[in-house]
């Protein structure tokens, strides 16, 4: 009988300890749920006849946005239309495509299907490589090719 009582006490203490420890563990931080559009209506953007479109959704109050917008300019060509959509000037497009974080940069084909997107800052190398890969799949080395060997 006493061994059963000891067992019950041990189980109760273990449950109490688990409860106390669980309450001390902080809640995980909230995770962002930002997303980019999957399809664009090319008629709403500059040069809808161009085979490719690179769009940066930006805001005048965002310092990172200006840097991203500057990285788009070298991509401008006969085959690639480039457009910067400032929230303060074209709020309706931000709302239509549910842009809730800037900068959001998208690369879309002639049909407006988004092939690649970046939310937040992006390096010129990553952006230009993404456009090259979208235009000609297999033209950039796979990510593991950039990993240094030990």
Residue 140, pLDDT score: 76
Give the closest residue to 97 by CA, choosing from 56, 140, 53.
56
> Which architecture does CATH list for 42-141?
3-Layer(aba) Sandwich (3.40)
- Higher per-residue confidence, 150 vs 91: 91
Instruction: Retrieve residue 9's tokens.
Output: 């006490």
Give per-residue pLDDT as tens, 107-124.
999 999 999 999 999 999
Number of helices (H), then strands (E), in the chain: 4, 4
38 has pLDDT over 60: yes
Q: What is the DSSP letter of 113?
A: B
The answer on pLDDT for 9 being more than 90 is no
Q: Where are any strands of DSSP class E within 9-109?
A: 52-58, 80-86, 104-108
Is 26 or 41 the better-scoring residue by pLDDT?
41
Location of structure tokens 């500057």? 70
Instruction: Write the pLDDT tens digit of every residue in 46-101.
Output: 999 999 999 999 999 999 999 999 999 999 999 999 999 999 999 999 999 999 99
Q: Closest Cα to residue 114, out of 40, 33, 35?
A: 40
d(Cα 46, Cα 44) in Å, to the nearest integer?
A: 7
Please say whether the beta carbons of 87 and 94 come within 8 A: yes
Whether the bond between 103 and the residue before it is cis, its omega within 30 degrees of 0, is yes
The structure's pTM equals: 0.73
* pLDDT for the residue numbered 143: 62
pLDDT given for residue 118 in this prediction: 96
pLDDT of residue 15: 78
- Grouping H, G, I as helix, E, B as strand and the rest as coil, residue 142 is coil
């Amino acid at each position: 009988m006493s061994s059963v009582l000891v067992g019950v006490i041990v189980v109760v203490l273990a449950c109490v300890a688990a409860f106390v420890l669980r309450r001390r563990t902080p809640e995980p931080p909230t995770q962002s749920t930002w997303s980019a559009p999957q399809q664009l209506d090319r008629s709403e953007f500059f040069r809808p006849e161009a085979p490719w479109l690179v769009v940066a959704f930006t805001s005048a109050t965002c310092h990172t946005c200006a840097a991203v917008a500057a990285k788009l300019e070298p991509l401008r060509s006969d085959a690639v239309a480039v457009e910067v959509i400032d929230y303060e000037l074209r709020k309706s497009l931000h709302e239509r495509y549910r842009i809730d974080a800037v900068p959001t940069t998208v690369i879309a084909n002639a049909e407006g299907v988004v092939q690649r997107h970046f939310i937040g800052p992006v390096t010129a190398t990553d952006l230009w490589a993404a456009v090259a890969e979208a235009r000609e799949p297999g033209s950039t080395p796979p990510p593991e090719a950039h990993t240094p060997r030990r």
